[in-house]
């Protein structure tokens, strides 16, 4: 069965609309040549929200192994094997729902100014995973019972 010729303009228009929001990234100069960057354009913010939502919706399942490693790093391998999958399933659901919401609402500036709904922004951001470990980021190890005030006093990142 041949595709109808009148479907081509619709397909081309759809491709152009969906690709218009894709942000373009260029290297910025370093040092004195760097100037303050202008706020992102509306189209860039919409594209960023759509791509963030698509990534979180499709890759939310990666929260399960990530949480196993995160809990194991902070509390040991036994809690990591027991609590990690439970926390991972919770984060999987949260990240997948947030991703679906962002994909469906990408044209609207909700939440305010297209901010991310879940932190870290993407599942592969390892800031929360590597915080407090001497091997990965060069800081002193953080003990699980250490108070947030003590962590802040010695300059360690906040770990919830």
For the chain (length 160 residues), average pLDDT per consecutive 10? Answer: 66 66 52 56 90 94 93 91 94 95 91 86 76 43 54 58
Q: What span, in angstroms and rounded, lies between the C-alpha atoms of 85 and 65?
A: 7
Q: What span, in angstroms and rounded, lies between the C-alpha atoms of 53 and 114?
A: 11
DSSP 6-71: THHHHHHHHHHHHHHTPPP--PPPPGGG--PPPPPPHHHHHHHHHHHHHHHHHHGGGHHHHHHHHH
Q: What span, in angstroms and rounded, lies between the C-alpha atoms of 63 and 65?
A: 6
Cis omega (within 30 of 0) on the bond before 111? Answer: yes
Tokens of 1: 């069965």
The predicted structure's pLDDT at residue 92? 95
The predicted structure's pLDDT at residue 9? 74
| pTM higher than the cut 0.85 | no
The predicted structure's pLDDT at residue 137? 40
Greatest Cα pair distance in the chain? 71
- Give the CA dihedral 103, 107, 110, 116, nearest 10 degrees: 50
127 DSSP assignment: H
The predicted structure's pLDDT at residue 5? 62
CA-closest candidate to residue 122, choices 57, 47, 44:
57
Which helix (DSSP H) or strand (DSSP E) does residue 104 occupy?
helix 77-104
Q: In this structure, how many other beta carbons lie within 10 angstroms of the beta carbon of residue 121?
A: 15
């Amino acid at each position: 069965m041949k595709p109808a010729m009148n479907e081509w303009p619709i397909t081309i228009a759809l491709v152009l609309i969906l690709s218009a929001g894709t942000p373009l990234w260029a290297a910025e100069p370093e040092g004195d040549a760097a100037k303050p960057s202008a706020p992102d354009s509306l189209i860039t913010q919409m594209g960023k929200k759509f791509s963030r939502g698509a990534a979180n919706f499709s890759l939310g399942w990666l929260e399960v192994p990530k949480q196993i490693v995160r809990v194991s790093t902070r509390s040991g391998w036994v809690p990591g094997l027991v609590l990690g999958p439970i926390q991972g399933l919770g984060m999987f659901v949260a990240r997948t729902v947030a991703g679906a919401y962002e994909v469906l609402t990408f044209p609207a500036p909700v939440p305010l100014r297209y901010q991310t709904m879940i932190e870290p922004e993407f599942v592969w951001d390892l800031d929360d995973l590597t915080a407090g470990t001497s091997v990965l980021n060069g800081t002193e190890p953080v003990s699980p019972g250490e108070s947030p005030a003590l962590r802040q006093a010695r300059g360690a990142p906040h770990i919830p």
